[in-house]
Structures are given as C-alpha cells and as structure tokens.
Amino acid sequence: MTEQVVRFVGVPERIELDDGIVIRRYVAADVPTIVAVVNASLDHLRPWMPWAQNPVTDETQGAWFRETDPQWDDGTNFVYGIFSAEGRLLGGTGFHVRNGPGVLEIGYWLATDAVGHGVATRTSAALTEAARAVPGVTRVQIHCDEGNHRSGAIPQRLGYTLARVEPREPQAPGETGRHQIWTFDV
Ligand SMILES: CC(C)(COP(=O)(O)OP(=O)(O)OC[C@H]1O[C@@H](n2cnc3c(N)ncnc32)[C@H](O)[C@@H]1OP(=O)(O)O)[C@@H](O)C(=O)NCCC(=O)NCCS
C-alpha cells in the first residue's frame, strides 16, 4: 500500500511577536547569515542537531535552502528563521509534516547568544497558535531527546502533554536514544 502524502496549505509565512521578533520564511539571501550564525553556535548545537556536526558552508546551506524552499509550496515542510526586531538571526524553527494526517511538528534551534531569554518558548507558542488556523490541523507535536532538558522544558512551559517516550537510534552525540513526543491538541 502506498503511503498517503500529507500536505497543508495556509501556514503563515510571517509571524510577528509583541516585542518585534519576526518569524519568517527564509529567502535565498539569508543563506550567508545562516552559515555565520550556525558556525558561531556549533559547540552548542552539535550535541543535539544531526546537521550541525561540522562547519556548514554557503554550498551546504544553499543546497539545503534549495531543497526545503519548494517543500513550503508543496505543503510538506515549513522552515522559518527567527529574527530580532533589528533583523539579527536568532535561530531557526519550523513545522515538519512527518507524523501523519492532522499533525504539525514544531522544531527549533537558537544561536548560542540567543539562549535563555524565552525566544524559543515564545516562538513555539506563536507557532502553536498559528497551527490552529491551518485547515486540517488537529494536533501539534514537539519531539526531543529525554536528555535535552532545555528543549523538553519548552513544551512543558506551554502546557503540552508528554504522550510517550519511544526508543530511537541516537542521531546526535548528546542523545540518550529515549525520544519524547509532546502533544497539544488544537
Ligand atoms: C532547545 C533550545 C532552543 C532552548 O533554548 P532556551 O533558551 O532554553 O529556550 P527559551 O528561548 O524558551 O528560553 C527559556 C529560558 O528563558 C527564560 N525566559 C525569560 N523570559 C521568558 C519568557 N517570556 N517565556 C519563557 N521563558 C522565558 C526561561 O525562564 C528560561 O530560563 P533558563 O535559561 O533559566 O531555563 C536551545 O537550548 C538550543 O538551541 N539547543 C540546541 C538545539 C536543540 O537542542 N534544539 C532542539 C532539538 S529537539
């Protein structure tokens, strides 16, 4: 049996938070900024992000942008940058479409110097709210390794429920292999 492709339309391309932080779809011109910010944050990203094991380049991130950007129009993956009111790239976030019908999964990472100010929590709150307005979405999820306490604190702060913990082959060096699935019904 072929697996049904899940697609969503109506995901907003830009969300502005009260304090001027802008969550927006990336454009090609963001690639050099992404490269600079990721490389400056590698030590903090490496334990948890499989794609941040080695320095990235304009070529690797350009290829990543060319792969992910059409997925937005396809309705199968939605990747955003998080920008300060002054336009500084603070981190990345997005909705993954990989958990079956009705489900959007929020992912996030922050630059080292953006950690500790509630940026990821407020971004995830805004994305959870935005998901409510997307036709067909019934549930939002956040997945993280049990050892990633800063990440797990985010769904906890937002009132998500820990639905289950599954074994999963570690994909980054900090992972324990116990994969938490937090859910929020919208
Ligand atoms: C996971 C990650 C995004 C969490 O970052 P974070 O800075 O801890 O999360 P937030 O931006 O929501 O900030 C929370 C902190 O700000 C504080 N805070 C301040 N104002 C706040 C507000 N308005 N709302 C929520 N928290 C606020 C919180 O008390 C918390 O403080 P603490 O550092 O003492 O715990 C970050 O650690 C990271 O990028 N890690 C590497 C990549 C990664 O693991 N990604 C997730 C994979 S599953």
Nearest protein CA to atom 24 of ligand 1, as residue: 118
Per-residue CA distances from 82 to 5, 26, 133 (Å): 28, 9, 20
Nearest protein CA to atom 27 of ligand 1, as residue: 118
pLDDT of residue 103: 98
The atom of ligand 1 lying closest to the CA of 122 is: 24
Q: How many angstroms separate the alpha carbon of residue 109 from the centre of ligand 1?
A: 9
pLDDT of residue 1: 57
pLDDT of residue 63: 98
Nearest protein CA to atom 34 of ligand 1, as residue: 116
3 state DSSP class of 3:
coil
3 state DSSP class of 121:
helix
Q: Is the CB–ligand 1 distance for residue 8 below 6 Å? A: no
Fold (CATH) for 14-185: Aminopeptidase (3.40.630)
113/22 Cα distance (integer angstroms): 17
125/36 Cα distance (integer angstroms): 27
Nearest protein CA to atom 21 of ligand 1, as residue: 118
Per-residue CA distances from 158 to 117, 180, 184 (Å): 15, 15, 9
Query: Can you give the residue ranges of every domain in the chain?
Result: 14-185
Q: Is the CB–ligand 1 distance for residue 116 below 6 Å? A: yes
CB 11 within 8 A of CB 78: yes
CB 102 within 8 A of CB 134: no
pLDDT of residue 155: 98
Tell me phi and psi for residue 80, to 5 degrees: -120, 155
pLDDT of residue 5: 82
E strands, 26-84, are 77-83
Confirm whether pTM is higher than 0.85.
Answer: yes
Q: Is the CB–ligand 1 distance for residue 108 below 6 Å? A: yes
Q: How many angstroms separate the alpha carbon of residue 101 from the centre of ligand 1?
A: 29
Nearest protein CA to atom 35 of ligand 1, as residue: 116
pLDDT of residue 4: 76
The owner of tokens 């009132």 is 159
- Cα–Cα nearest to 93, from 37, 45, 23: 23
Tell me phi and psi for residue 62, to 5 degrees: -65, -45
* Angle, helix 119-132 to helix 149-157, in steps of 10 degrees: 50
> pLDDT 10s per residue in the chain (186 long)?
566 789 999 999 999 999 999 999 999 999 999 999 999 999 999 999 999 999 999 999 999 999 999 999 999 999 999 999 999 999 999 999 999 999 999 999 999 999 999 999 999 999 999 999 999 999 999 999 999 999 999 999 999 999 999 999 999 999 999 999 999 999
Q: Is the CB–ligand 1 distance for residue 122 below 6 Å? A: yes
